[in-house]
Structure 1
């Protein structure tokens, strides 16, 4: 189809006395998202897509630059600049910019000198001087005013990310706050000021230290070096080197900002509920005066030569062994990447790909997957494989290469390619329902230089691709010229953490507020009226002929369906259920092989799965509505006629036992296990599982019977889809076989949180450069719905986002952590207890600092009326603009039922919020968290911890890795 842009003039009256303005935009015929693409006179791109489902808008502001453009002498610069973009401008983040500026300039000069000095003693003295000047500058700094602004307009998801080619700033805003949002962002992108530099740099240090235990990051870096030896994709990482992080340059950051943060290098991407004519006028009002640059150039690098034979590297780390293989491909804008997206599905789509049916299904290794990682200059086609116990990494490599040879020889079903295209279209339909997915697609198109017409026509184009074209492509590109990384398990002696510098805490200045923030807080917008659920009218409660309850909502938007058999019991009732579910994935029936089962579901563009929770279980089927009946018959056939495969069971048990051993190597898995053990004791969600002897000896028929017997227990059917009520009931009656008399739900032993009557310290071992720590408190207090408004506002005020007390005190003021928060948690079911916890990841040598700060702010809650009003305002605006839709309505009802209420709790919260006072929050925190005993759960390397200081708090209990995992 030839692209003919549709140019439309939209005349808008911007206000009394102002002239109308006209904005031209491009569209693509047949675009289901009906995206408008504007280009303002200064070059700023604006992508707008309307979706009226809920009164919110997903916004991304994407800058076409990332670590690829970092100066070689200051790697990590793009990422660090991303952090600094949250520090404010001339008008916010400061009480007096004119007085602040001389000190900021002095700090910049001092850093330029500091980075040229190598003598450690001199560097310490220079850093002390920087710290001293920073204290003076901090008198004018108002930390986290950006987050205050976002809270005041009811934004969610305030964040940003940096990668090789992009830095992107993320907000989800209520639809009535476009003007305030645009005003804030316009100021931010044109008038960014670098302040709070040394404490934020310490937060980036912490992020770097966390990355030292991330073996996957190290593998990607090693792959990059081999594929792109003279290009930043291979020569530098997004987070930067230790030496460069130790020697930052504010001057370089400013120059980088001036060069790349210009309108003709930026795109604003928005999807949600808005009038595009009004939105583009608003964006023009706040961004139109932004000066374009005629000098936006990107560093150029030599063409990266193709490899002609395999090259390899070895990475050492504590996590489980695996291999990563990669082939260099063309940049993301090339149509080659569309073909690669299909090939990745031919190899591994989770059901019927070559890896799925020939490696994963028969469990010839622990797992293999493939995906295309596209970047602007080049792309990487990545394959990852994990070995079975005793299997060599080269064996896994050979298994993968054998399947790639099948791809090159066309040894895959003729039905697979059309099934892949149908499933890709299904995924695209799901993405259109989601504002974040729409906006993310705009970012990718802009950053990668991909025309939106090409993106819209992708699925029509792929529908015409032939098997022979795939084979020819694979033969050309999947040569012996690949890179392979062998990830071995062991101690990485090359990794050194960045030491803690001497930082004097800067003041949080909570009581200060810029005039800009005051104006935004007090601005008047047309309010969004909240919409609460009415459990009597928002969905239909039906019955089948046999009296099975059916919760029904009709999908009038598209032909997608979501069907669930919902059971009110789970692993608390039967610890075998998760393992029965997992084993089922490897089984066929008396008529179909396991491979055929997966291929048939995939061919129907439908997904089937069993999901086992703590006290609920779902058998789920979703996909294209036109295929629901056939998919439902297939699902029932599998559930009722699964056939024992003893060889598959033996392999499954071997893989499960290896997976348990691998979990013990993962820092995050260790921390999850410690957290569960510390909160629930020995009977908890991590340890409640069959031991190895039980697994090996169980009769697999018992697991099959366990799943087949589910239909004989009382359950409900949940449905969201295009069928009318009578059609649905008839379909269920005909295809869902149940017993004449259903059994009662089996009793379960609930996980029960332990109380904390005294201070305790539990340490579990993990050799890393940082600690993970939780302080946990529970006095068996039951949930009271009347307190829910206090809980939500307290969490927003104290431990939530960047405007919370925790973030300000631990990160903004002192640079103690990259990740820190706290929460007062209420239970998800009746008769369970509330509990409180703090969470932090920090360096080993900062542990006691973190504990002292946490305890200080817990025992004496900092009180700031303005921050409290912001927290209350943010909570109200988020509730008002929230919309629960589709199956979310039914699950909200079921969740309320579990908590012992029969109404939407948000209605009560919203009604209570206006009368809530700061004194209410202070009293709530005093009664529930201040001066309370805590159980300190610390995962870390004891030889690097301050044990003597810990012993002054409470006796130390050492728990082993085997103890927390239970195996």
Structure 2
């Protein structure tokens, strides 16, 4: 293996090609992504992979630094710098950089003094001074200019993320805008300016608050602290501490930026539709003069010692109890990572893993799973377990460790390893269909120091692994040197509230724009012509010999397939279908056990899922097309011959009830329940479920027979794959046996949307430091295709993204939230009501600030011509470069049919958008959101909220947790 790896490395070193302007690149033979890896003279890495499916590309700019390199005195710094990178440069984000500079310097110096103050009164006075100086600086600040720049070129998914070892900046752009993208990105990476500091700091703190209610974060942090003592992986978190977030250092951030944001510490990773010769020339044009750091280094730490005995630790929170176990591993670039990835899939692959067969399928626990997380310095192998009702966490741990012992003893199916390898290959080739997955692979390789030859040859390496190698490795690795984090339910007394700072809203200065933005907006790239779905040409409609309607599209690109049976009814007709689909995962047939069925599907590299919604049931089969005939026969066997028994049913009911109880302790699940309750009242998608009494009294075989009898109802077959249409017809007609006449869909009991005839305040309880707030308006307006364009444009302008009015005013100007949005929603069916929502998560004591600002924006929507033009331009470019492909064509047709359309609605929107003007958006706002009645849906702890202020809006209606969950 070592010799082979050496030869692969040599191949990577010498397989180079001369291209335009004499750029050289490395490739690896046999790379299915045909990756080119360039290194510019200043050390900047460029990874390129061409995928022509649509005229767009995914771009990642990855910086090889993260919270691992944060100074211990200002943790969270890498993540906060990520936020500040969106604030502009010496060329954009300001109307007068020279006049602004001394004010920014003053803010920096004042923060250095502020962070060292301990007296409360002195800190308050100092912060007031910072706020005052910030107001002066804000006169020149032009918030969100970066987002305006990206909107002008039709970018999507503008974002960034920070982790232990990486900070990565994300854009999905049209393929004709690469030059402009590079111009913008090179400027902000070379010339970043820190501005809008204190409002953005408050937004980051709101992000911190959101994390406080997620007990999973606490578990990961506690596990890392025990696995990696003395190393930043264990001593500091990516978000940082509460104290450090409230005592930041702009000076430290600048020093960090100057040290790590240098070209020889950065990779540009791109996948999509482009000419790589032209792209590398463009990148060199804009990034080539970026000065490298010849003294580039990072903090180094003593090796983390191996544990010599198990270590237990506990975290407390409101969410459901569970446990997490971890073993320290080598870093992601090591070959040990290969083995741990294989073992992960051997233990839990969702079908035939050791945990799946021995713990999950027989319902010995609520859930058990395994995973490997590789980082640059170390990795961690993780087990996660959830207990059944009445089961202790210690018992769950004992059961999982017993299965690890079976792995160590080689007590697993003879073909498990080969099946795992085949499915890992399937997953890999499926991932290549997606540009972001390709680019993710580049980021992972660069950040973790992986040779690309090792990545390309990874599947070959794991294919050669033997059963004995796995067993031997497991015996060396899984020693009694693990950490267990017990997540208990209770009140976390370590969470402390910090007083809301007094922040004067900064002006958004939307009447201003930098010269840089003006230049970019005036640039005219060669336009990309749109390509919309033509339902008469892009798919085939047919009927099988047995009378089943077929939507067919042939896959000529690879050997993967998706086959689905679509039934136009769901839980609104009978809520038992959802339960039957869940129970099906735990039963077998008279001849085949549940475990054996799962093994057979996994061996075929195929999988199925029964998806049940309010209006539809979809039985979806996917995998390798060569296995499709066998997989389809096996699926029909499962549906037709599934056999219930009282013991498994009782166990399943207990798991289901435990899952429902666990949801009541989750903040997000509570808000979802309140949101549906607020839209539809007592009978809604959340509450329409079989009660405990109904579950316990049900005949489980009757439920399974509902799935068996689906084939007697009218349905549609959807297929995307290599099989020819005639061969598909022959197979389905032979295997999928249906009666001569298919019965119509059963009648549905519809959810009735509640109109907002008066202002109302509905509140449900959840004990947290923040609230979820939604304002809902519904006056019964019905959808019309002719309004689709103005609705889309209004959403883009007002509430859709970081360049929208809502985000600018609530986050950028006031620091009230990490995210804020609003949307005028299109229903899934033309007979349903249109609705308008605002949405925000904010600190408890900022609630009324958010309400008042939302009301101001709704009733007095700002009229900003420049914002409108950018929103219009962004939508037009997005639609021009969008492509509906593969199985998506068939799914698109079903959605259009459901809306009563025989054409691609995006085409109508695209053709209408250029005709719309700002006055149309303003009129839409006046007619649909201004001075309307709203239902305020609030999830929070009433004793920490300004209830008197809410009572001035309307009488407060209180709902219990059980009520919103329908119990």
Same structural fold, with TM-score higher than 0.5 when normalized by the shorter chain: yes
Q: Which digits, 9 at most, give the CA deviation of each residue in 1:34-90, with x for residues without a partner? A: 000000000000000000000000000000000000000000000000000000000
Report the Cα distance in structure 1 between the residues aligned to 2:708 and 2:15, rounded to whole angstroms: 59
Q: Is the 8 A contact 2:784 2:830 kept in 1?
A: no
Report the Cα distance in structure 2 between the residues aligned to 1:776 and 1:502, rounded to whole angstroms: 29
Aligned position for 2:325: 325
Report the Cα distance in structure 1 between the residues aligned to 2:499 and 2:362, rounded to whole angstroms: 48
Report the Cα distance in structure 1 between the residues aligned to 2:424 and 2:354, rounded to whole angstroms: 17
The alpha carbon displacement at 1:498 in A equals 2.9
Report the Cα distance in structure 2 between the residues aligned to 1:753 and 1:534, rounded to whole angstroms: 34
1:713 aligns with 2:713: yes
DSSP-derived class of the 1:350 partner: coil
The alpha carbon displacement at 1:401 in A equals 0.3
The alpha carbon displacement at 1:752 in A equals 2.5
Aligned position for 1:387: 387
Q: Which digits, 9 at most, give the CA deviation of each residue in 1:246-273, with x for residues without a partner? A: 1100000000000000000000000000
Aligned position for 1:410: 410
1:907 aligns with 2:907: yes
Aligned position for 2:583: 583
The alpha carbon displacement at 1:10 in A equals 4.6
**Gaps spanning 5+ residues in structure 2: where?**
none
Q: Is the 8 A contact 2:66 2:238 kept in 1?
A: yes
Aligned position for 2:469: 469
1:29 aligns with 2:29: yes
Report the Cα distance in structure 2 between the residues aligned to 1:369 and 1:27, rounded to whole angstroms: 37
Report the Cα distance in structure 2 between the residues aligned to 1:259 and 1:412, rounded to whole angstroms: 50
Report the Cα distance in structure 2 between the residues aligned to 1:180 and 1:871, rounded to whole angstroms: 18
Report the Cα distance in structure 1 between the residues aligned to 2:507 and 2:609, rounded to whole angstroms: 52
DSSP-derived class of the 1:872 partner: helix
Aligned position for 1:15: none
Aligned position for 1:492: 492
Q: Is the 8 A contact 1:584 1:704 kept in 2?
A: yes
Aligned position for 2:541: 541
**Farther-moved stretch of structure 1 (901-910 vs 398-407):** 901-910
The alpha carbon displacement at 1:359 in A equals 0.4
The alpha carbon displacement at 1:499 in A equals 2.3
1:500-649 superposed matches below 5 A: 500-649=500-649
Q: Is the 8 A contact 2:15 2:28 kept in 1?
A: no
Cα distance, 1:790–1:801 mapped onto 2, change above 3 Å: same
**Farther-moved stretch of structure 1 (165-174 vs 895-904):** 895-904
Report the Cα distance in structure 2 between the residues aligned to 1:753 and 1:478, rounded to whole angstroms: 54
DSSP-derived class of the 1:924 partner: helix
Report the Cα distance in structure 2 between the residues aligned to 1:839 and 1:760, rounded to whole angstroms: 16
The alpha carbon displacement at 1:741 in A equals 1.6
1:420-435 superposed matches below 5 A: 420-435=420-435
Report the Cα distance in structure 1 between the residues aligned to 2:42 and 2:510, rounded to whole angstroms: 38
Aligned position for 2:881: 881
Aligned position for 1:162: 162
In the comparison of the two structures, how many residue pairs are matched? 959
Report the Cα distance in structure 2 between the residues aligned to 1:320 and 1:125, rounded to whole angstroms: 43
Report the Cα distance in structure 2 between the residues aligned to 1:570 and 1:228, rounded to whole angstroms: 49
Report the Cα distance in structure 2 between the residues aligned to 1:718 and 1:200, rounded to whole angstroms: 48
DSSP-derived class of the 1:652 partner: helix
Q: Which digits, 9 at most, give the CA deviation of each residue in 1:407-457, with x for residues without a partner? A: 000000110000000000000111010000000000000000000100010
Report the Cα distance in structure 1 between the residues aligned to 2:182 and 2:106, rounded to whole angstroms: 32
The alpha carbon displacement at 1:740 in A equals 2.0
**Gaps spanning 5+ residues in structure 1: where?**
13-20
1:678-689 superposed matches below 5 A: 678-689=678-689
DSSP-derived class of the 1:471 partner: helix
Report the Cα distance in structure 2 between the residues aligned to 1:182 and 1:771, rounded to whole angstroms: 40
DSSP-derived class of the 2:112 partner: helix
The alpha carbon displacement at 1:8 in A equals 4.6
Q: Which digits, 9 at most, give the CA deviation of each residue in 1:118-157, with x for residues without a partner? A: 1110000000000000000000000000000000000000
The alpha carbon displacement at 1:308 in A equals 1.3
Q: Is the 8 A contact 2:88 2:145 kept in 1?
A: yes
1:25-174 superposed matches below 5 A: 25-174=25-174
Report the Cα distance in structure 1 between the residues aligned to 2:648 and 2:595, rounded to whole angstroms: 13
DSSP-derived class of the 2:290 partner: coil
Aligned position for 2:227: 227
Aligned position for 1:18: none
Q: Is the 8 A contact 2:17 2:26 kept in 1?
A: no
- Tell me which stretches of 4 or more aligned residues in structure 1 moved more than 6 Å: none
Q: Is the 8 A contact 1:320 1:662 kept in 2?
A: yes
Aligned position for 1:17: none
Report the Cα distance in structure 1 between the residues aligned to 2:593 and 2:497, rounded to whole angstroms: 52
The alpha carbon displacement at 1:242 in A equals 1.0
Q: Which digits, 9 at most, give the CA deviation of each residue in 1:801-849, with x for residues without a partner? A: 1111001110000000012100000111120111100000000000000
Q: Which digits, 9 at most, give the CA deviation of each residue in 1:518-542, with x for residues without a partner? A: 1111101110000011111110112
Q: Is the 8 A contact 1:162 1:238 kept in 2?
A: yes
Aligned position for 2:401: 401
Aligned position for 1:672: 672
1:827-838 superposed matches below 5 A: 827-838=827-838
DSSP-derived class of the 1:537 partner: coil
Report the Cα distance in structure 2 between the residues aligned to 1:811 and 1:498, rounded to whole angstroms: 19
Q: Is the 8 A contact 1:259 1:296 kept in 2?
A: yes
Report the Cα distance in structure 1 between the residues aligned to 2:448 and 2:885, rounded to whole angstroms: 33
Cα distance, 1:85–1:279 mapped onto 2, change above 3 Å: same
Report the Cα distance in structure 1 between the residues aligned to 2:890 and 2:768, rounded to whole angstroms: 44
1:183-222 superposed matches below 5 A: 183-222=183-222
Q: Which digits, 9 at most, give the CA deviation of each residue in 1:222-251, with x for residues without a partner? A: 111111110001101000011111110000
1:703-742 superposed matches below 5 A: 703-742=703-742
Aligned position for 1:16: none
User: RMSD value over aligned CA atoms?
Assistant: 0.8
Aligned position for 1:243: 243
Q: Is the 8 A contact 1:10 1:277 kept in 2?
A: no
Q: Is the 8 A contact 2:62 2:443 kept in 1?
A: yes
The alpha carbon displacement at 1:114 in A equals 0.7
Aligned position for 2:816: 816
Aligned position for 1:782: 782
Report the Cα distance in structure 2 between the residues aligned to 1:124 and 1:881, rounded to whole angstroms: 51
The alpha carbon displacement at 1:7 in A equals 4.7
Aligned position for 2:949: 949
Aligned position for 1:696: 696
Aligned position for 1:761: 761
Q: Is the 8 A contact 2:645 2:701 kept in 1?
A: no
